[in-house]
Structure formats: C-alpha cells, structure tokens
Amino acid sequence: MSVNCYKCEKTLELTAQNDIGRSEECPSCYASLRCCRMCGFYDKNSYNECREPSADRVVEKEKPNFCDYFKLGADQTGDNTEKSALDAANALFKK
C-alpha cells in the first residue's frame, strides 16, 4: 500500500494498513504517521475534522494519538469531500 505523507507529500510504501504504531514516523520529515491527518476519516470540513461520529475529539491533528478508529487513508487532505459527494449523488442516477 502506498500513501503520501501529509507534511512532505512523499510517497510511503507501507506493508500493513492497520499495523501503524503510535511511534511510526515518515522517514523523510519525521512527521507522525498515526495521527488524524493521516487517517481516512480526516476531513477538515467535518465536525471536529473527523467523519467518524463515534471518535473522541482530538485537538492536535498532527500529533500521535490513541484513536481506536484510526484507519490509514489514501487521501489525507480532506479536499476531495465535495467531489466525493458529487460522485455519490451522480451514482444514484446511473442505470
């Protein structure tokens, strides 16, 4: 699996999606990999910047945390929310 670091945007080749430890860091810029900004639920336009409604609030999105809902995501920017919503709406009307 490959994802981009939220900070330096370098491609990271990872072997296991859910085995990211709290102390794991990007080898290039040393940014934490188990943080909100690297999570698939991160969305800067959502309440508490998280699309997971059951997750506890995390104030520092770039620091390692103990969130039980962490899921390494391919899109860490949260900028594609509008496009995803439009794609989902268009899919309803396809035959």
C-alpha–C-alpha distance, residues 30 and 32, integer Å: 6
pLDDT at 91 exceeding the cut of 90: no
Structural domain of 67: 1-95
One-letter identity of residue 5: C
Q: pLDDT of 47-71, one tens digit each?
A: 999 999 999 999 999 999 999 999 9
Phi-psi region of 88 (alpha: psi -120 to 50; beta: other; left: phi over 0): alpha
pLDDT of residue 53: 93
pLDDT of residue 41: 95
Count of structural domains, the chain: 1
Q: pLDDT of 14-53, one tens digit each?
A: 776 557 888 999 999 999 999 999 999 999 999 999 999 9
Q: Are 41 and 51 in contact (CB under 8 A)?
A: yes
